[in-house]
């Protein structure tokens, strides 16, 4: 079996202190992973092993037992430095440091021998072949190791860990097992809830890696298995179940099951503990929006107005917590259209939401929600051409079946409000129909 190389690095697209936005997933895919394979090693990426920010047992095992490690210090990510400290404390050698050329490294690590790689103006690898080759050569050099841990270099009496006494064979089995389960879940999502449940039956939940549990949870979400989501969360290990990510998904699933009181309690507890956020408030806003629609359908007009205000205020609080995330912002301005008269804050908020989504589009590869947000903004602006363009982009980016359902619902709300005010809504009806065909496909 090939030796493992553990990769400590940021994930997704992140800004660095030089003002650049770097796509670390591309750095991993085009430089780091190929270099590890070239060196006849097997890559394991740190962010694939975490859940909700937890540094858990599996992470410590990988830091201690992987024969080799690479740490990307770009952006001075706190998690990366924490993990690097653990690695340097337990392994005297075989840890390679790298960073994007031009990055300003913290004083304590600046003198260490790091490997720079080139980034272009878009934050993508600029010379991936050369950087890949240099990193591969550095990895091969680690087979005749020199001490690279400053702790072991400077403190000669520091105790040397007897890695041979650790359970390396069991560690290798667990890594291979985790990869097998992830592949099974990926395949199961295409076959529905029963296939996912079959994968779950293979797991001993109390011993499963948190990353696998999160993958299992989101697999159920992908097929709209709300009951299975809530059942799984209730039997997860407490450390995983109480993370913000899992509690948000708990509230999400409870609301989809119609258990709105419990969903509200769960989500308000997260906000009380961790503060408002675009994600938590976005899910809680949906709870209030559902209650508004139910009260409206039941003819409870006074109650409906109360829930509409709560939904708007909750979405708005989430948007104000992170202006970069347009999702709660677009929901706020959409619901402001439902007020009679239209909530006057909408005119001030619309350009901010539009800027947020365009700023996001300029800094990352667009996903479904970016295009869905532009679609709703176009409908609000009565811009048919832009709406049709954004609709096409959104439909091409659908990942999970419930996504166009959410967008279709908001478009229906806008169409109804505009129709009641005497607008021509024929073209909006056609957008609803296209989203509906996607949902039934």
DSSP β-bridge partners for residue 15: 21
d(CA 264, CA 61): 37
CATH of 251-440, one of 1.25.40, 1.10.3470, 1.10.10, 3.55.50: 1.25.40
The reported pLDDT for the residue numbered 366 is 73
**27 near 7, Cβ under 8 Å?**
no
β-pairing, 95-100 vs 68-72, is parallel
385: pLDDT strictly greater than 50: yes
β-pairing, 95-100 vs 13-15, is unpaired
CATH of 4-162, one of 1.10.520.10, 3.40.50.450, 3.40.50.300, 3.30.70.20: 3.40.50.450
The reported pLDDT for the residue numbered 170 is 56
d(CA 425, CA 53): 46
> Which has more pLDDT, 146 or 250?
250
The reported pLDDT for the residue numbered 12 is 86
Q: Which pTM does this prediction carry?
A: 0.66
β-pairing, 68-72 vs 4-8, is parallel
Q: Which two tokens stand for residue 239?
A: 């450390």
pLDDT-based confidence at 142, cuts 50/70/90?
confident
Q: Which two tokens stand for residue 417?
A: 């409000």
Q: Before 251, cis peptide (omega within 30)? A: no
The reported pLDDT for the residue numbered 105 is 67
DSSP-derived secondary structure for 302-314: HHHHHHHHHHHHH
pLDDT-based confidence at 90, cuts 50/70/90?
confident
> Which has more pLDDT, 240 or 260?
260
The reported pLDDT for the residue numbered 53 is 45
CA distances to 328, 337, 364, 408, 425 from 416, in Å: 21, 10, 34, 12, 9
Q: Which two tokens stand for residue 158?
A: 């520091």
- Rg for the chain, CA atoms, rounded: 25
**18 near 55, Cβ under 8 Å?**
no
157: pLDDT strictly greater than 60: no
CA distances to 17, 104, 245, 350 from 14, in Å: 10, 15, 20, 26
């Amino acid at each position: 079996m090939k030796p493992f190389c553990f990769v400590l690095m940021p994930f997704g697209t992140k800004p660095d202190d030089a003002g650049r936005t770097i796509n670390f997933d591309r750095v991993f895919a085009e430089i780091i992973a190929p270099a590890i394979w070239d060196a006849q090693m097997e890559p394991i990426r740190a962010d694939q092993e975490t859940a909700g920010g937890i540094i858990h047992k599996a992470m410590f095992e990988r830091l201690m037992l992987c024969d080799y490690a690479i740490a990307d210090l770009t952006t001075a990510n706190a998690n990366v430095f924490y993990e690097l400290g653990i690695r340097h404390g337990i392994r005297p050698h075989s840890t390679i440091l790298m960073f994007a050329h031009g990055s300003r490294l913290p004083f304590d690590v600046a003198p260490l021998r790091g490997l720079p790689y080139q980034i272009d103006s878009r934050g993508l690898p600029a010379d991936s072949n050369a950087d890949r080759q240099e990193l591969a050569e550095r990895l091969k050099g680690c087979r005749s190791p020199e001490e690279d841990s400053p702790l072991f270099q400077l403190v000669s009496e520091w105790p040397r860990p007897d890695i041979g006494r650790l359970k390396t064979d069991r560690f290798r089995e667990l890594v291979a097992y985790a990869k097998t389960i992830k592949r099974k879940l990926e395949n199961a999502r295409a076959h529905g809830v029963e296939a996912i449940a079959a994968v779950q039956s293979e797991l001993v939940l109390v011993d499963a890696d948190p990353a696998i549990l999160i993958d299992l949870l989101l697999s159920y979400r992908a097929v709209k298995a709300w009951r299975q989501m809530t059942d799984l969360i209730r039997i997860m290990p407490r450390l995983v179940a109480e993370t913000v990510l899992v509690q948000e998904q708990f509230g999400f699933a409870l609301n989809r099951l119609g258990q709105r009181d419990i969903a509200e309690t769960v989500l308000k507890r997260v906000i009380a503990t961790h503060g408002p956020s675009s994600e938590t408030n976005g899910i809680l806003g949906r709870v209030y929006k559902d209650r508004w629609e139910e009260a409206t359908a039941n003819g409870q007009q006074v109650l409906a107005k109360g829930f509409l205000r709560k939904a708007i205020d909750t979405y708005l609080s989430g948007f104000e917590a992170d202006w970069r995330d347009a999702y709660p912002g677009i929901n706020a301005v959409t619901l402001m259209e439902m007020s009679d008269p239209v909530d006057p804050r909408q005119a001030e908020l619309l350009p901010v939401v539009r800027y947020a989504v365009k700023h996001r589009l300029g800094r990352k590869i667009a996903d479904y929600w970016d295009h869905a947000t532009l679609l709703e903004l176009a409908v609000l602006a009565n811009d048919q051409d832009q709406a049709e363009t954004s609709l096409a982009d959104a439909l091409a980016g659908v990942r999970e079946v419930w996504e166009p359902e959410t967008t279709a619902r908001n478009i229906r709300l806008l169409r109804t409000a505009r129709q009641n005010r005497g607008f021509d809504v024929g073209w909006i009806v056609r957008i609803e129909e296209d989203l509906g065909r996607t949902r039934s496909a």
